[in-house]
Chains A and B, each alone.
Chain A
Amino acid sequence: MITLNHYLVLSGLLFSIGLVGVIKRKNLLMLFFATEIMLNAVNVGFAAISNHYGDLSGQMFAFFIIAIAASEVAVGLGLLILMYKRKSSVDLDTLTTMKG
Protein backbone atom coordinates (compact mmCIF):
# COMPACT_ATOMS: atom_id res chain seq x y z
CA MET A 1 0.00 0.00 0.00
CA ILE A 2 1.32 3.39 -0.98
CA THR A 3 1.14 5.93 1.83
CA LEU A 4 1.91 9.61 2.11
CA ASN A 5 5.46 8.82 3.18
CA HIS A 6 6.23 7.08 -0.10
CA TYR A 7 5.30 10.18 -2.04
CA LEU A 8 7.20 12.48 0.33
CA VAL A 9 10.33 10.33 0.08
CA LEU A 10 10.03 10.39 -3.69
CA SER A 11 9.58 14.16 -3.61
CA GLY A 12 12.68 14.53 -1.45
CA LEU A 13 14.67 12.29 -3.77
CA LEU A 14 13.69 14.27 -6.86
CA PHE A 15 14.43 17.54 -5.05
CA SER A 16 17.89 16.24 -4.11
CA ILE A 17 18.56 15.26 -7.72
CA GLY A 18 17.66 18.78 -8.78
CA LEU A 19 19.85 20.23 -6.03
CA VAL A 20 22.79 18.15 -7.20
CA GLY A 21 22.24 19.54 -10.67
CA VAL A 22 22.14 23.12 -9.40
CA ILE A 23 25.40 22.66 -7.49
CA LYS A 24 27.19 20.70 -10.20
CA ARG A 25 26.27 22.42 -13.45
CA LYS A 26 28.29 25.22 -14.98
CA ASN A 27 26.18 25.57 -18.11
CA LEU A 28 23.33 27.98 -17.43
CA LEU A 29 20.82 26.12 -19.61
CA MET A 30 21.47 22.93 -17.63
CA LEU A 31 21.05 24.99 -14.44
CA PHE A 32 17.57 25.98 -15.58
CA PHE A 33 16.75 22.32 -16.21
CA ALA A 34 17.80 21.45 -12.66
CA THR A 35 15.57 24.19 -11.22
CA GLU A 36 12.64 22.78 -13.22
CA ILE A 37 13.29 19.39 -11.61
CA MET A 38 13.21 20.96 -8.14
CA LEU A 39 9.92 22.77 -8.84
CA ASN A 40 8.36 19.54 -10.09
CA ALA A 41 9.51 17.62 -7.02
CA VAL A 42 7.80 20.17 -4.78
CA ASN A 43 4.64 19.85 -6.88
CA VAL A 44 4.54 16.10 -6.26
CA GLY A 45 4.83 16.69 -2.52
CA PHE A 46 2.02 19.27 -2.57
CA ALA A 47 -0.30 16.98 -4.52
CA ALA A 48 0.42 14.07 -2.15
CA ILE A 49 -0.37 16.13 0.96
CA SER A 50 -3.48 17.53 -0.72
CA ASN A 51 -4.70 13.99 -1.39
CA HIS A 52 -3.82 12.82 2.13
CA TYR A 53 -5.72 15.54 3.97
CA GLY A 54 -8.54 15.80 1.43
CA ASP A 55 -7.73 19.48 1.01
CA LEU A 56 -7.45 21.37 -2.25
CA SER A 57 -5.00 24.02 -1.02
CA GLY A 58 -2.01 21.86 -1.95
CA GLN A 59 -3.18 21.61 -5.53
CA MET A 60 -3.72 25.38 -5.61
CA PHE A 61 -0.14 25.95 -4.52
CA ALA A 62 1.02 23.51 -7.19
CA PHE A 63 -0.86 25.56 -9.81
CA PHE A 64 0.80 28.76 -8.68
CA ILE A 65 4.20 27.04 -8.71
CA ILE A 66 3.56 26.01 -12.32
CA ALA A 67 2.68 29.63 -13.19
CA ILE A 68 5.86 30.86 -11.52
CA ALA A 69 7.92 28.24 -13.36
CA ALA A 70 6.46 29.36 -16.70
CA SER A 71 7.29 33.02 -16.07
CA GLU A 72 10.74 32.06 -14.77
CA VAL A 73 11.46 30.28 -18.04
CA ALA A 74 10.35 33.29 -20.10
CA VAL A 75 12.50 35.81 -18.21
CA GLY A 76 15.41 33.40 -17.74
CA LEU A 77 15.65 32.53 -21.41
CA GLY A 78 15.51 36.22 -22.31
CA LEU A 79 18.41 36.93 -19.95
CA LEU A 80 20.26 33.89 -21.29
CA ILE A 81 19.94 35.11 -24.87
CA LEU A 82 21.17 38.55 -23.77
CA MET A 83 24.16 36.95 -22.03
CA TYR A 84 24.94 34.87 -25.11
CA LYS A 85 24.96 38.05 -27.19
CA ARG A 86 27.42 39.73 -24.81
CA LYS A 87 29.75 36.82 -23.96
CA SER A 88 28.99 34.37 -26.79
CA SER A 89 28.85 31.60 -24.21
CA VAL A 90 26.36 30.26 -21.67
CA ASP A 91 29.09 29.17 -19.26
CA LEU A 92 28.70 30.37 -15.70
CA ASP A 93 32.44 31.00 -15.30
CA THR A 94 32.43 33.77 -17.91
CA LEU A 95 30.41 35.89 -15.50
CA THR A 96 33.20 36.08 -12.94
CA THR A 97 34.49 39.50 -13.89
CA MET A 98 35.50 40.63 -10.42
CA LYS A 99 38.79 39.53 -8.94
CA GLY A 100 37.97 37.97 -5.62
Chain B
Amino acid sequence: MFESIAFYIFSVLTITSFVVVVTTKNALYALSSLAAGMILISGFFFLLNADFLGVVQIVVYTGAVMALYAFGMMFFDTTETLRESHANPRVVFALSGMIAIILVVMLVAPIASTHVSALYPMVEGVGNSEAVGMVLFTKYLIPFEVAAVMLLVAMIGGIVLAGKKMDKSLTTSEQGEVK
Protein backbone atom coordinates (compact mmCIF):
# COMPACT_ATOMS: atom_id res chain seq x y z
CA MET B 1 0.00 0.00 0.00
CA PHE B 2 2.64 2.50 1.06
CA GLU B 3 4.86 1.26 -1.75
CA SER B 4 2.13 2.05 -4.28
CA ILE B 5 1.58 5.55 -2.91
CA ALA B 6 5.30 6.28 -2.81
CA PHE B 7 5.83 4.84 -6.28
CA TYR B 8 3.13 6.95 -7.90
CA ILE B 9 4.13 10.15 -6.10
CA PHE B 10 7.80 9.67 -7.02
CA SER B 11 6.87 8.75 -10.61
CA VAL B 12 4.76 11.84 -11.18
CA LEU B 13 7.32 14.15 -9.60
CA THR B 14 10.26 12.61 -11.48
CA ILE B 15 8.55 12.68 -14.86
CA THR B 16 7.41 16.27 -14.29
CA SER B 17 10.87 17.50 -13.34
CA PHE B 18 12.53 15.68 -16.25
CA VAL B 19 9.96 17.06 -18.71
CA VAL B 20 10.81 20.51 -17.37
CA VAL B 21 14.51 19.73 -18.04
CA VAL B 22 13.97 18.92 -21.71
CA THR B 23 11.40 21.63 -22.46
CA THR B 24 12.46 24.75 -20.59
CA LYS B 25 14.32 27.57 -22.30
CA ASN B 26 16.13 28.70 -19.17
CA ALA B 27 19.34 26.83 -18.38
CA LEU B 28 19.08 27.56 -14.66
CA TYR B 29 15.59 26.05 -14.45
CA ALA B 30 16.86 22.97 -16.29
CA LEU B 31 19.76 22.56 -13.85
CA SER B 32 17.54 22.95 -10.78
CA SER B 33 14.88 20.54 -11.97
CA LEU B 34 17.54 18.02 -13.05
CA ALA B 35 18.95 18.08 -9.51
CA ALA B 36 15.43 17.63 -8.10
CA GLY B 37 14.80 14.70 -10.44
CA MET B 38 18.08 13.05 -9.42
CA ILE B 39 17.11 13.18 -5.74
CA LEU B 40 13.63 11.83 -6.54
CA ILE B 41 15.19 8.95 -8.54
CA SER B 42 17.02 7.88 -5.39
CA GLY B 43 13.58 7.36 -3.81
CA PHE B 44 12.99 4.51 -6.26
CA PHE B 45 16.26 2.91 -5.20
CA PHE B 46 15.21 3.00 -1.56
CA LEU B 47 11.86 1.46 -2.54
CA LEU B 48 13.72 -1.31 -4.40
CA ASN B 49 15.83 -2.29 -1.34
CA ALA B 50 18.96 -0.86 -2.98
CA ASP B 51 19.90 1.42 -0.09
CA PHE B 52 23.56 1.83 -0.96
CA LEU B 53 22.71 2.69 -4.58
CA GLY B 54 20.27 5.35 -3.39
CA VAL B 55 22.86 6.98 -1.16
CA VAL B 56 25.44 6.85 -3.96
CA GLN B 57 22.87 8.43 -6.30
CA ILE B 58 22.36 11.36 -3.93
CA VAL B 59 26.06 11.81 -3.16
CA VAL B 60 27.44 11.40 -6.68
CA TYR B 61 24.73 12.97 -8.81
CA THR B 62 23.39 15.83 -6.74
CA GLY B 63 26.66 16.28 -4.88
CA ALA B 64 29.33 15.93 -7.54
CA VAL B 65 27.75 15.98 -10.99
CA MET B 66 25.34 18.85 -10.31
CA ALA B 67 28.09 20.87 -8.63
CA LEU B 68 30.29 20.25 -11.68
CA TYR B 69 27.50 21.41 -14.02
CA ALA B 70 26.86 24.48 -11.90
CA PHE B 71 30.58 25.21 -11.97
CA GLY B 72 30.66 24.70 -15.74
CA MET B 73 27.68 26.98 -16.25
CA MET B 74 29.63 29.83 -14.68
CA PHE B 75 31.90 29.76 -17.75
CA PHE B 76 29.05 30.21 -20.18
CA ASP B 77 26.62 33.02 -20.67
CA THR B 78 23.44 31.34 -19.47
CA THR B 79 21.41 34.39 -18.62
CA GLU B 80 19.96 34.69 -22.11
CA THR B 81 17.20 32.29 -23.09
CA LEU B 82 18.16 29.40 -25.32
CA ARG B 83 16.97 29.43 -28.86
CA GLU B 84 16.17 26.19 -30.56
CA SER B 85 15.92 26.13 -34.32
CA HIS B 86 14.91 23.22 -36.50
CA ALA B 87 15.75 23.69 -40.14
CA ASN B 88 14.93 20.24 -41.46
CA PRO B 89 11.82 18.54 -40.01
CA ARG B 90 12.07 15.62 -42.42
CA VAL B 91 15.37 14.44 -40.92
CA VAL B 92 13.90 14.71 -37.43
CA PHE B 93 10.89 12.66 -38.54
CA ALA B 94 13.02 9.88 -40.06
CA LEU B 95 15.34 9.74 -37.05
CA SER B 96 12.41 9.60 -34.61
CA GLY B 97 10.81 6.73 -36.52
CA MET B 98 14.03 4.73 -36.61
CA ILE B 99 14.68 5.30 -32.90
CA ALA B 100 11.11 4.25 -32.07
CA ILE B 101 11.54 0.97 -33.96
CA ILE B 102 14.87 0.29 -32.24
CA LEU B 103 13.34 1.03 -28.82
CA VAL B 104 10.46 -1.38 -29.45
CA VAL B 105 12.90 -4.12 -30.48
CA MET B 106 15.05 -3.46 -27.40
CA LEU B 107 12.08 -3.54 -25.02
CA VAL B 108 10.52 -6.63 -26.58
CA ALA B 109 13.75 -8.64 -26.80
CA PRO B 110 13.86 -9.73 -23.09
CA ILE B 111 10.51 -11.54 -23.53
CA ALA B 112 12.37 -14.19 -25.54
CA SER B 113 14.46 -15.13 -22.49
CA THR B 114 12.09 -16.24 -19.72
CA HIS B 115 14.41 -18.61 -17.90
CA VAL B 116 16.53 -16.14 -15.95
CA SER B 117 17.94 -17.15 -12.58
CA ALA B 118 19.99 -15.21 -10.03
CA LEU B 119 23.72 -15.42 -10.65
CA TYR B 120 24.72 -13.88 -7.31
CA PRO B 121 21.67 -14.31 -5.08
CA MET B 122 21.17 -11.98 -2.15
CA VAL B 123 22.22 -13.48 1.20
CA GLU B 124 19.59 -13.53 3.91
CA GLY B 125 20.28 -11.55 7.07
CA VAL B 126 22.90 -9.31 5.48
CA GLY B 127 22.31 -5.63 4.86
CA ASN B 128 22.41 -4.16 1.38
CA SER B 129 25.71 -2.35 1.89
CA GLU B 130 27.46 -5.51 3.14
CA ALA B 131 26.06 -7.58 0.28
CA VAL B 132 27.15 -4.97 -2.27
CA GLY B 133 30.64 -4.91 -0.76
CA MET B 134 30.92 -8.69 -0.83
CA VAL B 135 29.92 -8.94 -4.49
CA LEU B 136 31.81 -5.83 -5.62
CA PHE B 137 35.14 -6.85 -4.09
CA THR B 138 35.01 -10.48 -5.17
CA LYS B 139 33.15 -11.02 -8.43
CA TYR B 140 33.47 -7.52 -9.83
CA LEU B 141 36.95 -6.61 -8.56
CA ILE B 142 38.60 -6.18 -11.97
CA PRO B 143 35.79 -4.00 -13.42
CA PHE B 144 35.96 -1.98 -10.19
CA GLU B 145 39.67 -1.33 -10.66
CA VAL B 146 39.18 -0.53 -14.33
CA ALA B 147 36.46 1.95 -13.37
CA ALA B 148 38.88 3.56 -10.91
CA VAL B 149 41.50 3.93 -13.66
CA MET B 150 38.82 5.32 -15.98
CA LEU B 151 37.86 7.96 -13.41
CA LEU B 152 41.54 8.92 -13.06
CA VAL B 153 41.86 9.23 -16.85
CA ALA B 154 38.71 11.34 -16.98
CA MET B 155 40.03 13.60 -14.22
CA ILE B 156 43.35 14.13 -16.00
CA GLY B 157 41.52 14.67 -19.29
CA GLY B 158 39.24 17.27 -17.73
CA ILE B 159 42.19 19.13 -16.20
CA VAL B 160 44.15 19.11 -19.46
CA LEU B 161 41.17 20.19 -21.58
CA ALA B 162 39.81 22.91 -19.31
CA GLY B 163 42.94 24.00 -17.51
CA LYS B 164 44.79 25.68 -20.37
CA LYS B 165 44.98 29.44 -20.03
CA MET B 166 42.74 29.39 -17.00
CA ASP B 167 44.19 32.72 -15.86
CA LYS B 168 42.45 34.53 -18.73
CA SER B 169 38.77 35.33 -18.47
CA LEU B 170 36.51 33.73 -21.04
CA THR B 171 33.53 36.02 -21.14
CA THR B 172 34.73 39.52 -20.36
CA SER B 173 37.95 39.75 -22.34
CA GLU B 174 36.17 40.43 -25.64
CA GLN B 175 34.44 43.51 -24.30
CA GLY B 176 37.72 44.83 -22.98
CA GLU B 177 36.56 44.99 -19.39
CA VAL B 178 39.52 43.05 -18.08
CA LYS B 179 42.81 44.79 -18.32
A interface with B by C-beta (< 8 Å): 1-2, 6-8, 10, 12-21, 23-27, 29-30, 32-34, 36-37, 40, 43-44, 47-48, 50-51, 53-57, 59-60, 62-64, 66-75, 77-82, 84-85, 88, 90, 93
Knowing A37-B21, A60-B140, A84-B76 are in contact, say whether A47-B48 is a contact too (CB < 8 A): yes
Secondary structure at the A interface, as helix, strand, loop or mixed, is: helix
Flag if A40 contacts B119 (CB, 8 Å).
Answer: no
Residues of B within 8 A of A10 (CB): 11, 14-15, 44
Flag if A2 contacts B7 (CB, 8 Å).
Answer: yes
Given contacts A60-B140, A74-B158, could you give 8 more A-B pairs where the C-beta distance is less than 8 Å?
A15-B103, A18-B22, A29-B27, A30-B21, A37-B21, A43-B53, A44-B45, A56-B120
Flag if A1 contacts B50 (CB, 8 Å).
Answer: no
Residues of B within 8 A of A26 (CB): 82-85
Residues of B within 8 A of A73 (CB): 65, 68-69
Knowing A47-B45, A60-B140 are in contact, say whether A78-B160 is a contact too (CB < 8 A): yes
Partner of B15, one of A17, A50, A75: A17
- Whole-angstrom distance between the alpha carbons of A73 and B41 in the complex? 19
- Whole-angstrom distance between the alpha carbons of A63 and B53 in the complex? 7
Q: What residue of chain A has the Cβ atom nearest to residue B152's Cβ?
A: A71
Flag if B53 contacts A47 (CB, 8 Å).
Answer: yes
Partner of A63, one of B22, B37, B56: B56
Flag if B68 contacts A37 (CB, 8 Å).
Answer: no
- Whole-angstrom distance between the alpha carbons of A29 and B162 in the complex? 15
- Whole-angstrom distance between the alpha carbons of A70 and B115 in the complex? 34
B1-41, CB < 8 A from A: 3-4, 7, 11, 14-15, 18-19, 21-22, 27, 30-31, 34, 37-38, 41
Residues of A within 8 A of B37 (CB): 37, 40
Flag if B120 contacts A40 (CB, 8 Å).
Answer: no
- Whole-angstrom distance between the alpha carbons of A56 and B51 in the complex? 12
Proximity bits, B126-170, A CB within 8 Å = 1, else 0: 000001100110011001000100110111011111101100001
Flag if A18 contacts B18 (CB, 8 Å).
Answer: yes
